[in-house]
Structure 1
Amino acid sequence: MLTNSGRTHSVTSHGKFLSRAGQKFFFKAMRLTEVGGSLDFGQKLKLRKRLDDLRTSHTTGLVLTEAQSQPCLDIAAQSGLVAMIELRITADELTSRRGFKSVVSRIAHTANIFSRHPALIGYILDCEIAQDALRAGGLENARRRVRSVVKTIKGRAPVAMVGIKVRPETRALSILEEDFLYAEIPALAPVEIRDFVVALHNVAEARPVLIEFKDASPGQDEAVAVAFGTGAAGVVAPPVPAPASHDWLGVRMMRAPDVMPFVTLNGTCPPRPAKLPMVSVVICAYNAERTMRPCLESLRRLDYPNFEVVIVDDGSRDKTADISMDFPEFRLIRQPNKGLSVARNVGMHAARGEFIAYTDSDCVVDPHWLTLMVRSMVENNFDGCGGPNYAPHEDGWIEASCAASAGAPCHVLVAEDRAEHLAGCNMVFSKAALAKIGGFDPQFRTAGDDVDICWRMLAEGYKLGFSPAAFVWHFRRNTVKAYYGQQRGYGRAEAMLFPKYPERFNVMGQIAWRGTIPGLARTIPGGNRKRVLWNATAGAQSLFDPGLTLAKVLPQTLEWTVLSAVAMVASIVLGVSLIPAAAMLALGPIWALYYAWYAPLDKSHEGFTARLLIAYLAYTGPMVRTMTRYKTRAKALTGLGGADGVRQRPTINWLRRTVRLDYWNNESIARDRLMDKMLKLFARSGHGAIVDAGWNDYDLEVRPNPWTRIELKTADEEHEAGKVTNHVLARIKFTRISTLALAAGALSAAGVAIAGLPEIALGLAALTIAGGVCIAAEMVEAGRLAHRATEECATELNLAPLGVLIRQPSTAEATAAAREPARVRVASQERIAE
């Protein structure tokens, strides 16, 4: 057996693909179905000749059984091929304790024998278990045992890759400890193959996906091309028998006994899409000299024939522009610092391509980034498309810990290949669609531009896709200071997004994503287990991340920490047990430790100290982000004018908590114009306003603070000659948080009183009453806000007030009021008197 104790395995996992000697490596493999476990000298010569032919036909690897590994690995090494050994585990071995011990012993022995073989790159665990048997025996039990086998192999052969062979009906066997995902699929239509590979990519996250076609089929060449074109790092395919062929003279043509499955690729992998539209890659840079050169060098290595690079230097004060000039094939645009969105728009207007691809100056793109992205755009008719971004290797443990901490840019999926949000460091748009919606919003200078552009495109009916293999390496904020700076930027962006899209935020002012972030759920307690859709027949399983609700992440929020601290102080003042309050306060650090345990930390930096730093950042990062969001929103709330802008006294119903205002106009100004003015005013002043779809008894909902909300309802009363009376009713209501808080306080006080502790009950009742008074004050302020906003918009539209005047109207208002019928004025005065 060929061995080389000083040489490690040449093929390793690198992001979504495999790598050998620093170059991308595609595992194009076949099985040796007719080769036995023992070969004589003549059979070895024939096998060597066949493997040489396979390599000439663009085959790069083999999949061997345990029996074939002993005689074939040496010959594969001599032919320049690599191999994976398939280790079979039967259903009985996987489910019974005695059988499992036996299989672990056997696999450990095999891993010991071949741990240093130069041709071996990894192991495939083939768990032959049916879906019903897997379900009956317990999925978690099976995964636990498979995880034990993987750890056994890695203990004997630490540099070998390990993957679990799954089938469409047993996809749930996948575990995080795998180095790659390996799936066997039957003959499917090209669209079904693409969908299956995309789904596997989303489960794999930052790991390669390998596909094996179970049976040969006439359309196998296209199937192989589709698998590689969707980002598969490897394909295992059987030979396709060549049909008997005769020329026109009836002479039988000499053909090889089988057709090699990778010949039609002609060495091009992944295959290029049928259409190759021009793509303009836009890089917006500001003081980016640390990462600018590797970014541009990676763009120089792109394997796409029709692209340009436009660099927008947004007023950098370092050597960013000088570095860019070292790449004369790229266009450089220099401008004063105007912010990220303006720079993106400058690049959009300068672009000559049909598609515009945005990545950041601190990113290194994969060589096939554009090839895979354009294929997704063209084949699915997407108007925008994005891909994942992964943190590259960091030399120091502090840098690696910061890179693995929560809050990195990410994508949000609503389906396997459809997105709600694309990370700004990896997104491509149709130039026509981008120009039609007006490009990026200039107010987003450092962050939030990607969220805004995606939501606007979705609102206009455009399709946003996701290409899971079109990834970039994104250098994270690798110091604690930079990490906190990033979280502050995200907090400011959320505060700026809220007035534009209040319907996309929850009651605590956090973005309420409608989709899921792959991999995030497992870092939350209770979210480690994926939801599995079991089929009654042997169809493909579907895996879903459990949905993230506010309750699941509540202990990580600043509001929870403040509430826990208040409960702690109240417990001390009232002299009650500190255990409940301490338990509440402890949930935040527990959640952070849980995140740190499951965070994707670089293996070379594994250690207690690194995990502890991740936990600290996971606990404090969201708080910094939230405090910045509150500060930014507080600065943005302008108060909607002062008392000088108010002209009439509203009709107030304290019992129903309503504020009513009435106006008159002679120019057929309908309520729609008034509501449009109010919507823009609330957005401009930093208050979120949501237009109702028509199912509720109000037109507009405003959320001035977490405790109250305003429901605005309008109505028009039409008169002769185009004259209109506009009625506005603002109803002030509790939010869900207010209701729950007051109810919890009241129930707690009642429960303590029933338990025979009147002093404590009085203290809790006093706290509840104090909270109710504070909320009542917020409701009064919300009523004033509705009053001022309505008056300001009505003044802009020259609507004449019908109520009791606080100040004299302007000339235009007085003229309009003079024209109103007397019966309208009398009716208005009577209504106010009531």
Structure 2
Amino acid sequence: MARLVSHGKYLLDGAQKFYIRGVSYGPFAPNSRGERYPEPERAAADFALMKRLGANVIRLYVPPPSWMVEEAQKAGLRMMLGIPWPFHMAFLDSPDMMREIRDAIRNAVLDTRQFGETIVAYSIGNEIRSDIVRWHGPRAVSKFLAELRDLGKQIDPAALFTYSNYPSAEYLDLSFLDFISFNVYLHREEDFRRYLTHLMGQAGELPLVLSETGMDTIREGEEHQAELLAWQCRAAFELGLSGFIVFAFTDEWHTGGVEITDWAFGLTRRDRSPKLAFDAVGKVFSEDLPPRLSAAPKATVVVAAHNAASTLGDCLSSIRELNYPNYETIVVDDGSTDTTSEIANQDSVRTIRIEHKGLAVARNAGVEAASGEVVAFIDADARADRDWLYHLVETIKRRDAAAAAGPNFAPDPQSARAAAMAAAPGLPREVRAGDDRLAQLCGCNMAITKAALLKAGGFDPMFTTAGDDVDLSWRLAALEETLAYAPGAVVIHERRATLAAYLRQQRGYGTGEGLLYRKYPLRTADQDGMYAGASSIGALLGGARVYYGEFGRGLFQTVYSSGNSYADLPLTFQWIVVSLILLILGSVNRVLGVLGAGGIALSILAAALSAASVPLPRPHSGPAVRINLWIVNLLGPTVRSFARERIKWRFEPSTDIQDSNGPVKLSGQIEFVTSHVAPRFDSATILGAMRDALIRRGVAVAETDGFQSYDLELVVPPMIRAPINALRKDASIALIWRIRPDPRRGLIAAAVTFLVLLAAGFSLSTAIVGVVLAAVAVGLIAIARARRIPAIINAGASEVAGSLGLSIATRADDEAR
């Protein structure tokens, strides 16, 4: 045996994954030596029976005598060693009790560290009662558990440490552990899978082990127990858990000084005769893990690559080792100028070379060439876990989903800069919409059925660097397709090596968000961000709440965001620009200078708070990493918001019709004429085509969600709206439009400016003149942009008519001179 290590969501035995196939054992009535275990002969026979079951780990609740560890070694079994202490008492209120707990941890590790290869992990606690956690506070309890872990590590640095939590205290921060353990008793398969999927997400980069589950055969019967444990065991490994431990090996159980006879959770009876569940669990334990798919559809892995010579080789090497029986790999070289194509050809994968047109076009080329039923996507700078494709496809097939996506993690940081980049804000990630559903796929780690891709129309070519995955996610959701979370599908995604590269990435993401705004201008600030995540500042300022339940008795107590959309406002480009303007105006008015300086100071403080609150791995949590992280927290969101707002406010539409130099046309009508309007040329078809044509021309277009009085609406900053409605006639469909001002935000901005000028000491007349001059400037910009809207609409209509084989007639109504 070799010592296990925890790495990349899984436990490893050397280079191979180690799946815990476990049973709990004891406690028992004291034997002739006073030990809370059976006599050595009985234990040896039990271990032989465990090996017949296919188990490889025994979970213990009290430290074992040395002879018992030696017997386990002979049987080829490892141990997960529990260290008992009074979990049910308010231990943090008693310094003496805390000292005794520390002594218990210290003594247990000292006494057994000689058997390090046999000890899977030390469990430093088990189910601290939720009312105790609520009383002490989760931070205090987590801090104490972290102290116990550190104490054990000081004695045996190579040992793994875990803690067995349960749903009623799910909100405990256990990120300092080597892996997370949970005791979960759920008897409905849908609930069981959903909750374990949720826990996999909550565990982050740490492996998750189901450390207890089972069923009482006295009340439920042996057949029901066998059925339950069979699907539970299979489900746990299908989802990507690193271990499954059955409570218990035998019905014999002694606790609290008494023999327990009214519960029977064992796989064997008290005389060790196997129950039906013994063979049911043994069948799964003896199979390859994760369990094989009953039907494995052909899959295509698409790698879109542009100048990716430095990373593509490692990516393809990981794909070549995938644990999946039927797949092909396609590399789409998006106009690279380096040796990307040569590397792909050397790897003997199918390579498609296209002109450089961006990420969405490259992915569409891969989809078109794919022969698989499922198309999986991975970035050229990412490496797939061996079971990556298995978990994506398994999730899609089991959930009957259109798509699935999993997490991506950074490689182990080798420097302070790398650690900071791995924890930087705004990195690509899947966005969850529930325990096992997603709101957004992440393009570096996703799989989509080819049928769903064709149904949704593929990736939108307007997204050249980022945003295509988010846009597709929203379109699939609009088609009421399921986007499923596959937490076991892990990729290791390289982070940017330098600050300049990171800022270029954030600029690209901001541009993608600006383009998303053009297609979905009505989505709120919480909805329109790419790879949106919880604000670290918001969480620090109380942006999360724990659900305790009535009188603290909630069975599933978790953390919910209370929402704090303004927490990151000081890190936006708009905030910093306004602060700088006020700072410059400080030369005219001291009050404005103070406001500007305060704004800049708040930005610096917000970045520092965010950097300080981000959890970091122990070897890389020093001042150098925090300083690097402070810099990226200050610059990254600013660059990203600038790129986003630049696209949102830019108005440079391309049209094939000359703009009018005459009066502004405020309304008009376009009639699509045909001798017979076929069903495919109905209002919805024309409106959909019209929306796409207008967006391609660089205009933000809102589509009604059923609550608006329009069908489409052009949103033109700073304060112009142009609603469009479709009217069906006998042999035609007419689109009527009008231009209208939308001064709401302008009025708010004018009022704020007016009040700031007054507060700064300017006279009433000066404040009024300043606001009027600003309003005139904005009005002139709005009129200039409004003048171009009719040409844009007509150009879009001409494109739609040409594509559908219709003729059009236009008519302008009101004119303003």
Query: Normalised by the shorter chain, which TM-score bucket?
Result: 0.7 to 0.9
In 2, Cα distance between equivalents of 1:75 and 1:529 = 51
Task: Give the CA deviation at 1:524.
Answer: 4.3
- Aligned residue in 1 for 2:703: 691
Query: What is the letter of the counterpart of residue 97 of structure 1?
Result: S
* Partner SS, residue 31 of structure 1: strand
- 81 and 597 in structure 1: CA distance in 2 versus 1, 3 angstrom threshold: farther
Moved more, 452-461 or 666-675: 666-675
* Partner SS, residue 476 of structure 2: helix
- Aligned residue in 1 for 2:39: 43
- Aligned residue in 2 for 1:168: 167
Task: Give the CA deviation at 1:71.
Answer: 4.8
Task: Give the CA deviation at 1:128.
Answer: 4.5
- 572 and 380 in structure 1: CA distance in 2 versus 1, 3 angstrom threshold: same
Task: Give the CA deviation at 1:580.
Answer: 4.5
Query: What is the letter of the counterpart of residue 692 of structure 1?
Result: T
- Aligned residue in 2 for 1:624: 639
Matched, 1:16 2:9: yes
Task: Give the CA deviation at 1:764.
Answer: 8.8
Matched, 1:343 2:343: no
Matched, 1:501 2:520: yes
- Aligned residue in 2 for 1:710: 721
User: Within 5 Å, which residues of 2 pair with 1:186-201?
Assistant: 186-201=185-200
Query: What is the letter of the counterpart of residue 621 of structure 2?
Result: E
Task: Give the CA deviation at 1:567.
Answer: 2.7
In 2, Cα distance between equivalents of 1:336 and 1:665 = 38
Contact 1:647/1:791 (8 A) holds in 2: no
Task: Give the CA deviation at 1:26.
Answer: 0.8
- Aligned residue in 1 for 2:291: 271
- Aligned residue in 2 for 1:92: 89
Deviations 1:334-370 (A, max 9, x none): 3443432222222212222111111122111111112
Q: RMSD of aligned C-alpha atoms?
A: 3.9
From 241, 246, 250, the equivalent of 1:232 is 241
Matched, 1:550 2:542: no
Contact 2:537/2:568 (8 A) holds in 1: no
Matched, 1:76 2:76: no
Task: Give the CA deviation at 1:672.
Answer: 8.9
- 662 and 128 in structure 1: CA distance in 2 versus 1, 3 angstrom threshold: closer
The two structures have a TM-score, normalised by structure 2, of 0.83
- Aligned residue in 2 for 1:559: 574
Matched, 1:366 2:362: no
Task: Give the CA deviation at 1:127.
Answer: 4.7
Task: Give the CA deviation at 1:240.
Answer: 6.6
Matched, 1:611 2:622: no
Contact 1:93/1:100 (8 A) holds in 2: no
- Aligned residue in 2 for 1:744: 752
User: Within 5 Å, which residues of 2 pair with 1:422-437?
Assistant: 422-437=441-456
Task: Give the CA deviation at 1:685.
Answer: 3.4
- 227 and 291 in structure 1: CA distance in 2 versus 1, 3 angstrom threshold: same
In 1, Cα distance between equivalents of 2:659 and 2:309 = 52
Matched, 1:301 2:321: yes
Contact 2:727/2:733 (8 A) holds in 1: yes
In 1, Cα distance between equivalents of 2:656 and 2:767 = 34
In 2, Cα distance between equivalents of 1:680 and 1:645 = 23
Matched, 1:540 2:549: no
Task: Give the CA deviation at 1:262.
Answer: 4.4
In 1, Cα distance between equivalents of 2:584 and 2:15 = 58
* Partner SS, residue 91 of structure 1: coil
- 516 and 728 in structure 1: CA distance in 2 versus 1, 3 angstrom threshold: closer
In 1, Cα distance between equivalents of 2:726 and 2:611 = 54
Query: What is the letter of the counterpart of residue 232 of structure 1?
Result: L
Query: What is the letter of the counterpart of residue 299 of structure 2?
Result: V
- Aligned residue in 2 for 1:62: 58
Contact 1:666/1:723 (8 A) holds in 2: yes
- Which consecutive residues of structure 2, in runs of 5 or more, have no partner in the other structure? 216-224, 252-270, 799-807
Task: Give the CA deviation at 1:630.
Answer: 4.5
The two structures have a TM-score, normalised by structure 1, of 0.81
Moved more, 469-478 or 626-635: 626-635
When Rg is computed on C-alpha atoms for both structures, the one with the higher figure is 1
Matched, 1:512 2:528: yes
Matched, 1:32 2:52: no
- Aligned residue in 1 for 2:264: none
* Partner SS, residue 109 of structure 1: helix
Contact 1:359/1:424 (8 A) holds in 2: yes
- Aligned residue in 2 for 1:802: none
- Aligned residue in 2 for 1:402: 421
- 795 and 333 in structure 1: CA distance in 2 versus 1, 3 angstrom threshold: closer
Task: Give the CA deviation at 1:224.
Answer: 1.0
- 649 and 711 in structure 1: CA distance in 2 versus 1, 3 angstrom threshold: closer
In 1, Cα distance between equivalents of 2:395 and 2:123 = 30
Query: What is the letter of the counterpart of residue 153 of structure 1?
Result: G
Task: Give the CA deviation at 1:682.
Answer: 4.4
- 97 and 315 in structure 1: CA distance in 2 versus 1, 3 angstrom threshold: same
Task: Give the CA deviation at 1:629.
Answer: 3.6
Task: Give the CA deviation at 1:624.
Answer: 2.3
Contact 1:355/1:431 (8 A) holds in 2: yes
In 1, Cα distance between equivalents of 2:27 and 2:579 = 68
Deviations 1:214-244 (A, max 9, x none): 43422212211111111111111135779xx
Task: Give the CA deviation at 1:612.
Answer: 0.9
* Partner SS, residue 171 of structure 2: helix
Moved more, 450-459 or 65-74: 65-74
- 450 and 397 in structure 1: CA distance in 2 versus 1, 3 angstrom threshold: same
In 2, Cα distance between equivalents of 1:514 and 1:447 = 9
Deviations 1:497-536 (A, max 9, x none): 3222222364xxx96359963xx44454536774323334
In 1, Cα distance between equivalents of 2:320 and 2:370 = 18
- 600 and 539 in structure 1: CA distance in 2 versus 1, 3 angstrom threshold: closer
User: Within 5 Å, which residues of 2 pair with 1:115-514?
Assistant: 115=113, 117-118=115-116, 119-216=118-215, 217-219=225-227, 220-239=229-248, 256-257=273-274, 259=278, 262-265=281-284, 266-328=286-348, 330-504=349-523, 506=525, 512-513=528-529
In 2, Cα distance between equivalents of 1:476 and 1:256 = 54
In 1, Cα distance between equivalents of 2:305 and 2:731 = 56
Query: What is the letter of the counterpart of residue 180 of structure 2?
Result: L
- Aligned residue in 2 for 1:801: none
In 1, Cα distance between equivalents of 2:404 and 2:241 = 18
In 2, Cα distance between equivalents of 1:797 and 1:605 = 58
In 1, Cα distance between equivalents of 2:672 and 2:520 = 34
In 2, Cα distance between equivalents of 1:418 and 1:664 = 42
- 110 and 497 in structure 1: CA distance in 2 versus 1, 3 angstrom threshold: same
In 2, Cα distance between equivalents of 1:504 and 1:553 = 19
- Aligned residue in 2 for 1:786: 786
- Aligned residue in 2 for 1:653: none
- Aligned residue in 1 for 2:109: 111
In 2, Cα distance between equivalents of 1:725 and 1:433 = 32
- Aligned residue in 1 for 2:602: 587
* Partner SS, residue 172 of structure 1: coil
Matched, 1:661 2:667: yes
In 2, Cα distance between equivalents of 1:796 and 1:54 = 72
Deviations 1:453-506 (A, max 9, x none): 222222233221111111111112222232222122223322333222222364
Deviations 1:130-156 (A, max 9, x none): 444544554444444434434443444
Task: Give the CA deviation at 1:157.
Answer: 3.8
* Partner SS, residue 501 of structure 2: helix
Contact 1:636/1:685 (8 A) holds in 2: no
In 2, Cα distance between equivalents of 1:133 and 1:159 = 31
In 2, Cα distance between equivalents of 1:315 and 1:666 = 40
Aligned length: 763
- Aligned residue in 1 for 2:222: none
Task: Give the CA deviation at 1:560.
Answer: 0.9
* Partner SS, residue 412 of structure 2: coil
- 741 and 666 in structure 1: CA distance in 2 versus 1, 3 angstrom threshold: closer
Between the aligned residues of both structures, percent identity stands at 25
